Structures are given as structure tokens and as C-alpha cells.
Amino acid sequence: MARALRTLLLLSAAALLAGCGVNNVPTYDEQVKAAWSEVLNQYQRRTDLVPNLIATVKGYAAQEEKVLTEVTEARASVGRLQLPADVLSNPEAFKQFQASQQALSGALSRLLAVAEAYPDLKSNENFLALQSQLEGTENRIAIARRDHIAAVQLYNTELRTFPGRWWAGMLYPDAKVRETFTIEEQAQAVPKVGF
């Protein structure tokens, strides 16, 4: 009888623990990791498109060497960046990653702006296809970043609120708050319009 009671108590305790959020911290951590992987996949997709875009533009706008060089250097900078394993909980490494991706975004924007000055380039099928792929990739990046931000918010909230804070302290002492994307202060400023 004592053995049956002990088994019943253990099963009851296990059921209570399973339903009280003890598994939320590792579950949400895995969601953050999956969302981060998707962000990296989409950034890699964009990085892979850059050489083809540069080659297409180069044939039409050789005199725009400065812009082409900026894009090439920004892409190389992204490629050289070695992400530490703790990038999601390392504010400096995360800021460095975000800065290199923003530099590439800015260089690509300037490249597409240069293309506006070349009607033959704008009508080139390869350029149009690459431009369309790049626009689609930028949309995918935005969605992946949004999903990552949501996953980080859920995870960080779990680490900072009851009972997740207790579970993390007792069972997952290595759980750390994760970094998320931000925008630069210049982007937050209200644009000035003058006529």
C-alpha cells in the first residue's frame, strides 16, 4: 500500500510540474534559437545575391565604381564576421552583427539608387530578376526578424516573471536574457519635410 501511495504521489508531482511551466524556459529557448537560425538563413540568402547583382550593374555602370566597391566591402565585412556561440546573450557581439548587416543594407540601397540613372540597366531582365529576389529577401529578413523579436520577448518575459524566474533559477541557472534587434537613433527621428 505504501508503495502504491508513493507511486501515486510521484505521478501527481510529475503531472503538477509538467503543467506549471517548468519546461517553458527550455521550450522558449529553443524557439529563440530556431528564430535566430531563420534570421541567419535570410541574411545569408541576401549575401549570396550580392555578387550577381554587382556583376549585372558593373556591366552597365562601370563609372559607379565607388558604390560597387562599398557593396563589395560591406558584403565582405559580413562574411568575415565571426559570431560567437553566445551572440544572443552578448550585447556587444549582437550589436556588431546588426551593424554589419545595416552597412550592407545601406550599400545595397545606394546601389539600387544608382541603377535608377541607367535606363538600360533598369530594363535588363537579369537586373530585374535580381532586384525582385533582393526585395523578396528583404521582406523575408523583416519577417524573420519580427519572429525572432517575438520569440526573444516570450523567452525574456519567462525569465523575468513568476514562476519562470524561479524555475530558471533552480533548474536552468545558465539561462540568460537574449538580445533582440533595435533601430538606430537616426531612424527614430521624425523626418523633416521641406517644400
What tens-digit pLDDT sequence spans the chain (195 residues)? 788 878 877 777 666 655 678 889 999 999 999 999 999 999 999 999 999 988 888 888 877 888 888 999 999 999 999 999 999 999 999 999 999 999 999 999 988 888 888 888 878 888 889 999 999 999 999 999 999 999 999 999 999 999 999 999 999 999 999 999 987 766 556 555 554
Q: Which of 132, 179, 137, 174 is nearest to 35 (CA)?
A: 179
Could you tell me which residues come within 8 angstroms of residue 163 by beta carbon, excluding any fewer than 6 positions away? 20, 21
- Enter the C-alpha cell of residue 5: 501511495
- Enter the C-alpha cell of residue 85: 556561440
Structure confidence at residue 164 (pLDDT): 92
- CA distances (Å), origin 84, targets 87, 92, 97, 163: 5, 11, 10, 30
Structure confidence at residue 116 (pLDDT): 82
Q: Long-range contacts: 184-192, Cβ < 8 Å, 24+?
A: 184/102
- CA distances (Å), origin 137, targets 43, 45, 101, 108: 8, 7, 13, 12
Residue linked to cell 516573471 = 161
Structure confidence at residue 160 (pLDDT): 95
Is 74 in a helix, a strand, or coil? helix
Structure confidence at residue 136 (pLDDT): 95
Structure confidence at residue 49 (pLDDT): 92
The Cα 149–Cα 119 span in angstroms is: 39
